[in-house]
């Protein structure tokens, strides 16, 4: 489907509570950005293809994300040498507040805090004693909890590895589309 931009096309996936628009950069045959749309607003995710840490969408370790009015508010980088779609720990820089924090994914939970070592420690415990992942159909981000260290822990389907693989396969198929 042609988009409003001259060289971009997009694929739209809609559901009852929102959808995802995937914009494709035809000249480079890769995903330009994705817009996640819900009744409450939209949020974009754009791989930063500059440098060696993001040669393709599948291997991208660096992205910009944010709400519709500030699509590059958050600078996100993998810290474990894995692409963001497979990373267990990543750094998030908020360009508006100037705050840097660390997120870690394990067992369907998102751990978030300002101290990298604390988040890595929580991830290690989560990997050794996993809790069940969020139920099928659970929202992307559930109700926040607080860890023993005071960091935020959020049940999150994105931190469920089978969900991540499914999303990566969808993106890969849309990227291969002409």
Question: What are the E-state strand segments in 107-150?
Answer: 109-113, 145-146
The phi, psi pair for 118, rounded to 5°, reads -65, -45
pLDDT value for 63? 93
The mean pLDDT value for 32-45 works out to 85
β-bridge partners, 24:
9, 31
pLDDT value for 2? 43
pLDDT at position 64 over 90? yes
pLDDT value for 41? 81
Which is higher by pLDDT, 114 or 9?
A: 114
pLDDT tens for 109-162 read 788 889 999 989 888 888 887 666 555 655 555 555 556 655 667 666 667 666
What global pTM score does this model have? 0.73
- Nearest Cα neighbor of 75 from 51, 55, 42, 98 is 98
- 111-114 long-range contacts (CB < 8 A, ≥24 apart) are 111/147, 111/151, 111/152, 111/153, 112/151, 112/152, 112/153, 112/154, 113/147, 113/149, 113/150, 113/151, 113/152
- Look at the alpha carbons of 130, 135, 139, 142 in this order and tell me if their dihedral is positive or negative: negative
pLDDT value for 135? 59
Which is higher by pLDDT, 22 or 161?
A: 22
pLDDT value for 149? 59
Share of the chain above pLDDT 90, in %: 21
pLDDT at position 7 over 50? no
The mean pLDDT value for 91-118 works out to 89
Q: What residues does each domain of the chain span?
A: 46-176
Q: By the 8 A CB rule, do 105 and 135 touch?
A: no
The phi, psi pair for 170, rounded to 5°, reads -60, -45
């Amino acid at each position: 489907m042609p988009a409003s931009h001259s060289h971009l096309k997009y694929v739209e996936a809609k559901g009852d509570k929102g959808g995802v628009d995937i914009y494709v950069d035809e000249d480079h045959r890769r995903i330009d950005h994705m817009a996640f749309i819900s009744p409450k607003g939209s949020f974009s995710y754009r791989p930063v293809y500059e440098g060696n840490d993001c040669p393709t969408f599948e291997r991208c370790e660096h992205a910009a994300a944010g709400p519709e009015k500030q699509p590059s508010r958050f600078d996100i980088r993998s810290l474990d040498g894995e692409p963001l779609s497979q990373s267990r720990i990543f750094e998030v820089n908020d360009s508006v507040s100037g705050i840097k924090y660390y997120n870690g994914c394990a067992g369907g939970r998102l751990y978030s805090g300002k101290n990298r070592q604390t988040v890595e420690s929580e991830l290690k415990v989560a990997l050794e004693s996993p809790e069940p992942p969020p139920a099928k159909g659970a929202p992307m981000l559930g109700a926040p909890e607080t860890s023993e260290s005071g960091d935020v822990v959020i049940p999150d389907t994105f931190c469920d590895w089978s969900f991540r693989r499914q999303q990566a396969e969808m993106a890969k198929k849309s990227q291969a589309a002409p």
